[in-house]
Structure 1
Amino acid sequence: MVTAGRIRAGIGGWTFEPWRGVFYPAGLKQADELAYAASHLTAIEINGTYYSSFKPDSWAKWRAATPDGFKFSVKASRFCTNRKVLGEMGESLHRFLSQGLTELGDRLGPILWQFMGTKKFEPDDFEAFLRLLPKSQDGLPLVHVIEPRHASFMTPEFIALARKYGVTACLADHAQYPLIPDVTGEVVYARLQTGSDDIETAYPADKLDLWAQRLKAYAEGGRPDDLPAVDAANPAPKTPREVYAFVIHEGKVRAPAAAMALIERVEVA
């Protein structure tokens, strides 16, 4: 019997000059950076897809550079989410999903749908968006994560709508964006964005310990007691879940160190 889902931790992207000589060894070829990152982390969030599309052979190359069990999450195109009427994103959605991302095969993890901080929760508009999200693409099942950045999403109505369509509400550790700890989908997805490059591991040891405990609680099917739920009256069913945690703070020089420190903590038997 599975008592807990796997916890993966990683960073946003892998091509970042300040990591060279800090995370990446001096002299490592840029072409080998993804393979190096994937050998030290368990997931990477691809952010470039928010701005542009990629050829199928790029996706296939990324898959080939990573080990079994590794996962990529993919940030959806801004042309899907940065619009007044979300239900009109159909053409942009098709373009995004058909670019070749399924070349990742079993390395394909969740798709992150990130909204601007000015986008408010309008139930009918948002449900029209959720209704368009497909369950699969080219035979591969799709897992969807929603990252709202406006306080109006802190309502039980949003939690109920996310659960209705089986999408995950992102757990955003951010100074300004809402933190939604409720479990709404089949996975849990955290974006840790309050770290500092003044600390070698971005977060101090006690904060890393705390986040490791929270991630374990989610993996075991529960929810951390120290994070007040938006809809406390309706908790999600207790069942093991896969958990993703990405360290993406401003500056992000120390993000890989933080992710590796989390992996060390959550993988201790």
Structure 2
Amino acid sequence: MGQIRIGISGWRYAGWRGVFYPEDLAQARELAFASSVLPTIEINGSFYSLLRPQNYQDWYDATPPGFVFAHKGNRFITHIKRLRDPGKPLANVFASGVLLLREKLGPFLWQFPPNFKFNADLVEHFFSLLPHDTEKALDMARGYEARMNGRAALEIDRKRSMRHAMEIRNDTFNDPDFVKLLRKYDVALVVADTAGKWPDFEDVTADFMYLRLHGQEQLYASGYTDAALRHWAKRIDAWAVGGQVDDARLIVAGPPPKRAGRDVYCYFDNDIKVHAPFDAHKLAGLV
């Protein structure tokens, strides 16, 4: 059976203070508090800008042994460059300090905008560049752009495996060729619950599963009922033992590639009304 980790996307939200976080908790202690009750958190500040080595070192130091961060890829690659000439921007990401997370570095999330349509050549080129271990990531990082001078971290403690997941938001990805590429490069298709706004396919394409639960009825805002959480628990349990549920929403029909178990990472992104940490706790109790 794979390992199941259920957590939240981000941790610094003003509305959480006095609800999830104690009233008198210093903001600088919020990550330490959240990581003491949840086993994983998705870093989403890295989506908006390149962070600095000190950020990652501080976060490593603030979290307990066994904790895992997922890392959201920079939108310059996915939303602005739209996968064109991604080599240097990827080097910048891996040079920014993320490798300082060492054993606490979990999957990389690459989220694409709703108007990004499936282009097999662009996607395959991007997948072919993604490093699947920290040695390859370090090699890539050494090619960072000059603007990173003085703010790059080029060190690893040892060779560690790396994982990647792709979140799509356009129906053109409903294409068997897309699933073939995901499986060829061992990239997970993100299972995204978006209150019906965007595609929500559940094909198993890698040695792990990555879920993002954005809200049951209202994007980023609504919580999950007990019945909805049981629905997701059933799926997580099936994926963790290498299987698939009978009613899975698939691009390619048929059972998943055989595997004794798969690790599952699940992140609640329904943060506006402070549902995320409580829903994560409830779901963890069901799996």
**TM-score between both structures, scaled by the size of structure 2:** 0.86
Deviations 1:5-61 (A, max 9, x none): 111111111110100011011111111110110011111011000111222122111
Partner of 2:265, secondary structure, is strand
Deviations 1:220-267 (A, max 9, x none): 11112222321114632232011011111262511110011111222x
2:78–2:112 CA contact under 8 A, matched in 1: yes
The amino acid across from 2:186 in the alignment is G
Structure 2 residue ranges without an equivalent (≥5): 139-158
Distance in 2 (alpha carbons) for counterparts of 1:249 and 1:226: 24
How do 1:174-185 and structure 2 match up within 5 A?
Answer: 174=194, 175-185=196-206
Q: Give the one of 171, 179, 186 matched to 2:191.
A: 171
Q: Aligned residue for 1:133?
A: 130
The amino acid across from 1:38 in the alignment is S
The amino acid across from 1:149 in the alignment is R
Distance in 2 (alpha carbons) for counterparts of 1:253 and 1:48: 18
Q: Does 1:32 align with 2:53?
A: no
Distance in 2 (alpha carbons) for counterparts of 1:254 and 1:74: 21
Q: Aligned residue for 1:104?
A: 101
Identical columns (%) = 41
1:133: how far off? 0.9
Q: Give the one of 13, 16, 20 matched to 1:19.
A: 16
Partner of 2:285, secondary structure, is helix
Deviations 1:177-197 (A, max 9, x none): 111211111110000112469
Distance in 2 (alpha carbons) for counterparts of 1:49 and 1:209: 32
Q: Give the one of 202, 222, 228 matched to 2:223.
A: 202
Distance in 2 (alpha carbons) for counterparts of 1:19 and 1:103: 28
Distance in 2 (alpha carbons) for counterparts of 1:27 and 1:84: 43
Q: Does 1:5 align with 2:26?
A: no
1:213: how far off? 1.3
1:201–1:261 CA contact under 8 A, matched in 2: no
Deviations 1:51-97 (A, max 9, x none): 11222122111111112221100000011112466241111111011
1:80–1:89 CA contact under 8 A, matched in 2: yes
Q: Aligned residue for 2:275?
A: 254
Distance in 2 (alpha carbons) for counterparts of 1:71 and 1:264: 19
1:220–1:240 CA contact under 8 A, matched in 2: yes
The amino acid across from 2:38 in the alignment is L
1:217: how far off? 0.7
CA RMSD after TM alignment: 1.8
Distance in 2 (alpha carbons) for counterparts of 1:140 and 1:82: 28
Q: Aligned residue for 2:172?
A: 152
Partner of 1:172, secondary structure, is strand
Distance in 2 (alpha carbons) for counterparts of 1:58 and 1:140: 21
Q: Aligned residue for 1:242?
A: 263
Q: Aligned residue for 1:77?
A: 74
How many residue pairs get aligned? The number is: 261
1:201–1:255 CA contact under 8 A, matched in 2: no
Q: Aligned residue for 2:235?
A: 214
2:47–2:73 CA contact under 8 A, matched in 1: yes
**TM-score between both structures, scaled by the size of structure 1:** 0.92
How do 1:59-70 and structure 2 match up within 5 A?
Answer: 59-70=56-67
